[in-house]
Chains A and B, each alone.
Chain A
Amino acid sequence: MSSKIFGSGIRRREDPRLVTGGAAYTDDITLPGMVYAAMLRSPHAHARIDDVDVSAAAAAEGVLAVYPGADTEDALQPVPTAWLLPDSDLQVAPYPAIAKDTVRYVGDIVAVVVAESRYQAYDALDLIAVDYDPLPAVTHPQQATEPDAPQLHEGISGNQALHWTVAGGDIDAAFADAEVVVKERIVQQRLIPNAMETRAAVAQYRQASGELTFWNTTQNPHIARFICSAVTGIPEDRLRVIAPEVGGGFGSKIAVYPADFVTIFCSMRLGRPVKWTETRSENYQATTHGRDHVQEVELAATKDGKITGLRCTVWAGLGAYLSTAAPGIPTILHGLMLSGVYDIPAVKEDVFGAYTNATPVEAYRGAGRPEATFMLERLVDKLANELEMDPAEVRRRNLIPRFEDGHDVITGLTYDSGDYPAALDKLLDHAGYDDLRRQQAEARNEGRYLGIGLSTYVEICGLGPSQVAGAIGFQGGLWESAIIRFHPSGKVHVFIGASPHGQGEETTFAQIVASEVGVSPEDVRVFHGDTDNTPMGWGTYGSRTTAVGGAALALTARKIKEKAKIVAAHLLEAAVEDIDYEDGNFFVKGSPDRGKTIQDIALMANVSWDMPEGVESGLEASTFYDPPNFTFPFGAHLAVVEVHPQTGQVKLERYIAVDDCGPQINPVIVAGQVHGGVVQGIGQALWEEAVYDDSGQLVTGTMLDYAMPRADRLPEIEVLSTVTPSPHHPIGVKGIGEAGTIASTVTVYNAVLDALQPLGVDSVAMPLTPERVWRAIQESGGD
C-alpha cells in the first residue's frame, strides 16, 4: 500500500456527500425550541440614528424580542481586529456589533428581531421605525483620504486607518538614474467573494451552566472561539465553536462578524437556541469584500530591460470598520511580495489604509498577492512595450535564477526555493509561444485582434513562523497541530486544528498518513472544525493548511512510525536498529516476509499485552508544528484572447497555467484548486465588480448585476506543473489554494491589452467589460 499513495489522484472523499446533498451546513441544524434572528440593516451608507422605535415590531405575531443597539451596548464588547499591525500608526475605530448612534455603511446592523419563524422575523423588520439623519458618504479609498472627505470616525483624522511602508535599496537613485520609467495607475476593484453558502450561525446558550455551543460557517473555529469569548464575555473554555460543512469561504469566513455576536447575545438573553442565516442580498452587503486598491506604480529600468526599481503608493479601502485580518492584507501580504520573481535592487511602497462608507474588506483568495502581482506584471508588460521587446524576454532578463535553499529579496523575505526560468520555459514551450506570436501577426493583417498575456509570479503562503506573526502584530500564533490515533483495528483517526471547507484535505491528509505509515487511505478519517474535539489550530486560509497543518501531520505520522518500530523490534526480538520498514511492514533486515504490520502493532499497543519495557500503551501521537519560514509557490501563466473591435467583446481562447507547489500529494486536487483559482482571477479581469454609487448604495447588490464567471465563457484550462520542493518542509509541499487567482487576473488583463496594442490602447479599467474596451478603442481613435 501507500508508498504510491502520495502523488496519486484518488477521488475526493468529500465529494459524494457534497454533490448528493448529504452534507450538513449550519443552516441544516435544527434544535428543539430554536428561534430565528433577522438583522435590520442600515439602508444608508452614513447617517446618524436619531431614534429607533421597535414597539410595533415587538408586538408583531411570533416575535420574541427586538433589540436595538442600546440593548447590546453593555453586553457586547466592540468587535476587535486580530491584526494590530505595528509601525503603521494603526487607528482602530470602535466597531459596535449593533450601531447605536451612527451607521457607516449600507448593511451596518441597527437592530435584531427574534421570532418563532424566519418569515415572522423578516416581516417584523419592516415594522421597526428608524429615524435616520443622512450624512455625506465616501466609498472611494483615495477620495476618503482627501482633506474635504466626509469623516467616518471621531478622532481618526483623514479616515486614515494605517500608513505602512516597505522599502529596500536606494529607490531615489534607481529612478534618478533610470534610462526608462513606465507608470500606471491601477484600480483593483472591489470584489464580492460569493461563497456558495452564505453566512450562518446557530447559538445555543445554556443559562444554567453558562456554556455556549456555536455553529458557525467559519474558516477558523478556534480563532472564532477566542473572539466570541472576548466580545460576549463567555469564558473561552465554556465556548465550543463548531464549523460544520462550510460551503466555501475564499477569505470571507475568516472574520468573526457582528451578526455572530448578536446571534449569541439573543440566545443568552432568551435562553433559546437562535439561528441566523444570511440572505444572498445581505451577504452582498454585509459579508466582507476583497481587493479595493488604488495603486500608483512606477518602474525604473535600463534600456536593455533590466528592472532597477519599483515605487508605488497604494490606497487600500478597508471599509467602515477593520475586519478581523484586514490590516495585514494590503500590507504584509502585499508589500512584502513587491519584487516578485525578479531581482529588483530597490523598492518602496507606501500603503494608506482608508476607512470608507462601504462593507469591510478582508482577505479574498490571494489576499494582497494578486494586487501585488498585478502591479508588477502589468508594468513589466508596459516596459516591454516601451522598449519594443518581447514580454517573455523582458521577464527572462530579470528572473531570479534557480535556487534550492533560500534567496533573500529586497523586501526582507527569504524565499524558500524556486526555479522561475524553468516554469517560464515550460509554459512557453507548451503554449507554442513563437507560433502564437506568428498567428497573432497574421490575424492582425486580417483585422483580427488576438492578444497573448503572460505573468510570472511567486506568492507567500504557509503562514507562518509564530515569531514572525508576533512581530507583525498578528494576535495569535500561526503554527498548526495534528493528533493521530490508531484504533486496535488498525484504523486511524486524525484530528487537526485547521479547518478545511472544500479544499479536499480530508483526502490529502489521509494520503499523507497513508504514505508515511503504510495504511490504506480509506482507513484514515480526518476530523476537523470542532473546538471541543480537535486540537488548537489557527485555521484554513492563505494556502496554509497543507503547508503548515500537513507538516504537523507528517511529523506526527513519523512519531507513530518510530514508536511502531520500537514495538516491532520487541515483538520480533530484535534491536530497533535492525528493523527495516516498507509499506506498512516492520521487519528484521533481510526478512520482510516475517514482519509485523502497522495493524499488528496497533492492536498490540492498544491491548498492551506484550509491550517493550517503558513504552506507553496506545499508538497515538501529536505535534504542534511551527514552521521555520513561509513557503513560496510560483509559476508562469499565459492567456490567449481575441477582442472584437466593433463591440469590445473579449473571448478567452486559451489559458495555460504552470504552477509549482512542490511535490503534489494529489494532482487531481491540485488541478481543481488551479481551475477554481484561475477562474476567480479571470472573474476580476473580465466580469466582477462591486459598485457603489455616490451616496454609498451598493448598486451591484444581486447576482443579476454582479457577474460571476460561468463555465461556458471559459476555455479548457491547461494545467501543468514543475516540482521544486520547499527545503524546510517535512514533505516539501508549498500550497496551491490561491496561486491561480494570484496569476490569472493580470495574465488575462495583459492578454487583452496586448490585443489592443495596435489600436493604441494601453490602459482600461477592470473589469474589462465590452463597453469599457469599446470606449477605449473609440477614444484612442483606432479602428
Chain B
Amino acid sequence: MFAPRFGYHRVSSVAEAGALLREHPGAKLLAGGHSLIPVLKLRLAEPPALIDIGRLAELKGISVEGEAVRIGALTTHAELAASADLEEHAPALAEAAGMIGDPAVRNRGTIGGNVAHADPASDLPTVLLALDASFEIVGADGERTVAAADFFQGMMATALGDDDLLTAVVLPARPPGQGQAYAKFAHPASRYAVIGVAATLEVNDGVCSAAAVAAGGLVPVPTRAPSVEQALVGEPAAGDAIATAASQIGTDLGDDLIGDLFASAEYRKAVAGVYVQQALATAAERIG
C-alpha cells in the first residue's frame, strides 16, 4: 500500500524534536519506522508530519553506570541482542531482542519505538516489566522518569504524551546469582509474541529467594505474575516446584485475554503455563 502524504523533518537535537512536536500537532516521531511505516501504509493513521529522530547520536548506545544499565532509545534490537554488557547485566533483554521479527526488523527497529508503540504482542515490554525498568522522558515541562508498571497503560497506550520523547530505558544491573530467561511462542507469520514470558530467579541455599515473572502477548498490556512469583519464593528452584508455580499463571492473567484467528484466548490461557515453566527452568539453569 501507499502511505498518505506527510511532511518530513529530520532533527539534530532532542530539543528541536520537542519544538517540532509542539509546532505540528499530531506529528509523529520516526525512529526505525518498523511500526510506524506499516501503520502509514495501511492508512491507519495520517499524521501531518514525521519528525525523524533516527540520527540523534545522543539517543544511541548502551552504558553501564554503577548498578544501572542505561539504554538509549534509538538502540536497535540487533544491538541489544549483540551487546556484551546486556549479556552480562540483562541477558533476558538481549535474548528477547534476538527473537524479534527477522534480521531486517532487528537492524532497523529500536527499543524506544518498540516500547512507545506498545503493541501487546511485542517482546520488549514484557521483559522490561520483569526487569523493573524505568523510562526517561523529555516533555514540554522538562524531564521525568516513569517506572515500567506505570509506563505500559493499555493496548498501544503508554505514559508518553503527544509531545513527549523517550530518551532512554534504565535497568537495574542483574545482581550476582540471578538467572534470567525469556521464552516465546512466536506467531508463524508476524513473528510477534503469541505468548512471551520473562523470568528472573535468585537462589539462596538451594531455595528461591526472589522471583520476577512477566507475561505478554496474550494480554492487552504485559502483566507481572504475582501468584507465580509468590509460589516460587521459599521453594527449590527446580522441577516440580517450578511446574507447580507456573501453573498459577492463569490466576495472574485475568479474564481479558487476547485471541485471534491463529490462537484463541482459551488456547493461549491453557498453554501459557508451559512457557512460564520454560522461562523459569531456563532462568534456574543459568544461575551462577
Which residues of A, 126-182, contact B by the 8 Å Cβ criterion?
none
Are the CB atoms of B271 and A279 closer together than 8 Å? no
Q: Given the complex of chains A and B, what is the CA–CA distance between A687 and B262 in angstroms?
A: 10
C-alpha gap A687/B271 in the complex (Å): 19
Is B63 located at the chain interface by the 8 A CB criterion? no
Could you tell me the distance between the alpha carbons of A708 and B187 in the complex, rounded to whole angstroms?
Answer: 11
Residues of B within 8 A of A118 (CB): 2
Q: With an 8 A cutoff between CB atoms, is A504 at the interface?
A: no
Q: How far is the CB of B10 from chain A (nearest CB, A)?
A: 21
**A774 touching B270 by the CB < 8 A rule?**
yes
Cβ–Cβ contact B190 & A704, under 8 A: yes
**Contact in complex: A707, B188 (CB < 8 Å):** yes
Q: Verify if B57 is at the interface (C-beta below 8 Å from A).
A: no
> With A and B bound together, what is the CA distance between A12 and B96 in angstroms?
38
The complex places the Cα of A649 from the Cα of B274 at a distance, in Å, of 11
A679, B189: Cα distance in complex, Å: 15
Assess the B189–A708 pair: CB atoms within 8 A: yes
* Contacting residues of chain A (704-742) with chain B, CB-CB under 8 angstroms: 704-708, 710, 713
Query: Does A691 interact with chain B (Cβ within 8 Å)?
Result: yes
Return the chain B residue nearest A775 by Cβ.
B267
Additional A-B contacts beyond A700-B261, A775-B267 (5; CB < 8 A):
A118-B2, A123-B4, A644-B274, A703-B190, A705-B189
Residues of A within 8 A of B267 (CB): 770-771, 774-775
User: Taking CB as reference atom, which chain B residue is nearest A772?
Assistant: B267
Within 8 A of A (CB), among B194-245: none
- Judged by a CB distance under 8 angstroms, whether A88 is at the interface is no
Closest Cβ of chain B: how far from A27's Cβ, in Å? 14
A704–B187 CA distance with the chains assembled, in angstroms:
9
What total of chain A residues lie within 8 Å of the partner, measured CB to CB?
A: 30
Please name the residue on chain A nearest to B273 by beta carbon: A646
Smallest CB separation, B187 vs chain A (Å): 8
> What A residues does B5 contact at CB under 8 A?
119, 123
Nearest 6 CB-CB pairs, A to B?
A: A707-B188, A707-B189, A704-B190, A122-B2, A771-B267, A647-B271
Interface residues of A (CB under 8 A from B): 118-119, 122-123, 279-281, 644, 646-649, 686-687, 691, 699-700, 703-708, 710, 713, 769-771, 774-775
B262 & A646 in contact (Cβ 8 Å cutoff):
no
A770 touches B261 (CB 8 A): no
- Chain A's closest residue to B3 (CB) is A119
Nearest to A126 among chain B residues (CB) is B43
A-B contact pairs, 14 of them (CB 8 A): A122-B1, A123-B2, A279-B1, A280-B1, A646-B271, A648-B271, A649-B185, A705-B189, A705-B261, A705-B262, A707-B188, A710-B188, A713-B188, A769-B262
Q: Within residues 126 to 141 of chain B, which ones have a CB less than 8 A from any CB in chain A?
A: none
The answer on a CB contact under 8 Å between A691 and B261 is yes
A710 to B101 alpha-carbon distance, docked (Å): 12
Q: How far is the CA of A756 from the CA of B53 in the complex (A)?
A: 52
CA distance A280 to B274 in the complex (A): 36
Give the shortest distance, in Å, between A710 (CB) and chain B (any CB). 8
Partner of B271, one of A280, A691, A774: A774
Q: Find the B residue at minimum CB distance from A119.
A: B2
Q: CA separation between A686 and B264, bound complex, in Å?
A: 17
Query: 8 Å CB contacts to A: which residues of B63-97?
Result: none
CB distance from A679 to the nearest CB of B (A): 13
Residue of A280, A647, A710, A774 with highest tally of chain B CB at under 10 A: A647
Tell me whether B45 is interfacial, beta carbon within 8 Å. no
